[in-house]
Structure 1
Amino acid sequence: MGRMTLRDFTFSDGTLVPAGSSLFVKFHGLYGDEEIHPWPPTFDGFRYLCEDNSSQVMLTKPTLDSQAFGYGRHVCPGCFLGSYQLKTVIAHILMTYDLPSDEALDSSVTVSKGAENVPNIKAAILLKKRVA
């Protein structure tokens, strides 16, 4: 997440950030911290689903533990639209296609780039149209 300062800003400790400076937040510190997320480099589709459903982190609820859409006053206004579209696409795929089992999946679907795991845009994924 990057921001550019429009005017000089001084923090309470006296640190000055001049106008025109670019500031970035490194999310690896948040998403790569094993105290917050167990086994951070491993994909877990149920990572944010609590067993007792008491404190689920919703995709569109900006919290300090999940900042996919930003946080505070400047949270992304399209977070609800984006999440509903994503859920609709996933529901369509699950209802229309048969997906391969875990054993048939290719492990090259993600690529490690330093501290990040990103989708491999050249990976082939098998989707077989479901017969009614």
Structure 2
Amino acid sequence: MSRHMRWVIGVAATVSAFGALLWLGRVTSFGWLPDGEAERWAVAVAFATLGATAVLSALGWWAAQAPGEPAAAGRTVRLRAKATGRGRVTQTAGHHYDTGRAGPAPDQATSPEHIRMRATASEDGQITQTGGDHT
């Protein structure tokens, strides 16, 4: 489920919770509630606001955990690299094989469908990243 849909669900549930708790606060009669109509409304609104805030906090956390895009079917690979000084990093998301070696190339069906790469190099650092099969 996308992040957008999670937020729509979270806001709708919060508004629904506020309405239900406001109604509950108005129809419930306890001896310790104030006698005046305005004061009873104030207590009901405070009760509904507190409950809706709790619902929004929980659902807001849930909504923020969703990925920015729909969940990808298939295998996802995330690569991060950092090279400093004279460091060298080589990363391949898929298969890295030598075309001069005997035997067939690895099965293409096992290659990742979704690849995310992030690299940082400083000074004389070198980074080589390949998204997919590398020969």
Question: Which entry has the higher C-alpha Rg, 1 or 2?
Answer: 2
TM-score, with structure 1 as normaliser: 0.23
Q: Give TM-score scaled by structure 2 length.
A: 0.23
**Larger relative contact order (Cα-Cα within 8 Å, sequence gap ≥ 6):** 2
Structure having the larger proportion of residues in helix: 2
Greater strand share, 1 or 2?
Answer: 2
